[in-house]
Amino acid sequence: MRIRFRTYFLKQALQNIRDNLAVHILGLGTMVSSLLIFGIFMLLYSNVTNWVQGWGNSLTFSVYLKDDISAYKRDKVDTFLRRLPGKKSLVYISKNDAMADLKKTLGSDGALLKRLSGNPLPASYEVFFDRSETHDLNSEAVKTALSKLEGVAEVQCSEEWLNNFKQILDIVKSIFFVIGGLLCVCVIFIMTNTIKLTIFYRKSEIEILKLVGATDWFIKVPFLLEGIIQGILAGVLTLSLLGGGYLFFATKDLQFFSTISLGLVFLPLNHMILLFLISVVLGIIGSLIAIGRFFKV
């Protein structure tokens, strides 16, 4: 394509946008809103995945002991746990420590615990593993072995609820794709209508251009560029708004069940590029549909 043609097309596309500014602003606003919903989903998904990955990296066993456990049996449990390979740390939490932790967590509501006649909380061991260093650790086998030890009341492994969480995350992912697909259809519809209005606005000019010998693509390219420009603007605006929202929430202390602090992450670069490209591609598809359906010369 010759440079002077390119300049003409770009000028013409910008002229189209200027001539139909209100329509374009409205279209852009709706497009950004739709992409923003899509982006928020992406951001939430990225963060939840990030948290789950973080939790997945540390494998934890909570070994609850029976209240009547003898010192000998507790030593056997202790020895078993100390011999586990790849262990990062081992913490013994006595019944009193467990109660103290609970009181601390409950804060002002801790007074409720005074009504208890005794301490119902069991003593326990918390064993932490670094997942990156214990790839070969069979958590199921460890859990079974621990459960068989005398004096052990219950064993909980972090992997169990993590797996449940991952299953929920997969469902969320499917919903995300369905909603994302519907939003894409909406954006294409908006884009098609925006370009359609521009085509109608320039109807007499198109007729004259054909009369003076313009090829179809000479007339079509500015409309296509219009879609690309709108897609680029929508992509940039969406990412900027997402970035602004992220910066706002990143300064807040977000907690999970009032206990675990959640660190926020922004969209990874490849997701940002993906969101931007989706916006541009939707702009192109929208204008192509409009050109195909409403461009009759």
111, 182, 208, 250: which one contacts another protein (CB under 8 A)? Answer: 208
Query: 274-284 as b/e, with b when 16 or more CB fall inside 10 Å?
Result: ebbebbbbbbb
216 binds another protein (CB under 8 A): yes
204 binds another protein (CB under 8 A): yes
Rounded (10°) CA dihedral 124, 154, 110, 106: 90
Nearest approach in angstroms of CB 230 to another protein is 22
The whole-angstrom distance between residue 263's C-alpha and the CA centroid of its chain comes to 13
Q: How far is CA 102 from CA 95, 110, 121, in A?
A: 11, 8, 9
Q: Are 196 and 290 in contact (CB under 8 A)?
A: yes
Q: Are 219 and 296 in contact (CB under 8 A)?
A: no
215 binds another protein (CB under 8 A): yes
C-alpha–C-alpha distance, residues 103 and 108, integer Å = 9
Candidate ranges 101-109, 156-164, 215-223, 246-254; the one touching another protein (CB under 8 A): 215-223
Candidate ranges 4-12, 97-105, 115-123, 171-179; the one touching another protein (CB under 8 A): 4-12
Query: Pattern of binders to another protein over 152-191, x per CB under 8 A?
Result: ----------------------------------------
Candidate ranges 1-9, 48-56, 244-252, 271-279; the one touching another protein (CB under 8 A): 1-9
Closer to another protein by CB, 176 or 294: give it. 294
Candidate ranges 133-141, 184-192, 212-220, 251-259; the one touching another protein (CB under 8 A): 212-220
| Total residues at interface with another protein (CB under 8 A) | 19
4 binds another protein (CB under 8 A): yes
Candidate ranges 139-147, 188-196, 213-221, 256-264; the one touching another protein (CB under 8 A): 213-221
Q: Which residues from 251-290 bind another protein, rule CB under 8 A?
A: none
Closer to another protein by CB, 107 or 213: give it. 213
Question: What does the binding site for another protein look like in residue numbers (CB under 8 A)?
Answer: 2, 4-5, 7-8, 19, 204-205, 207-216, 218
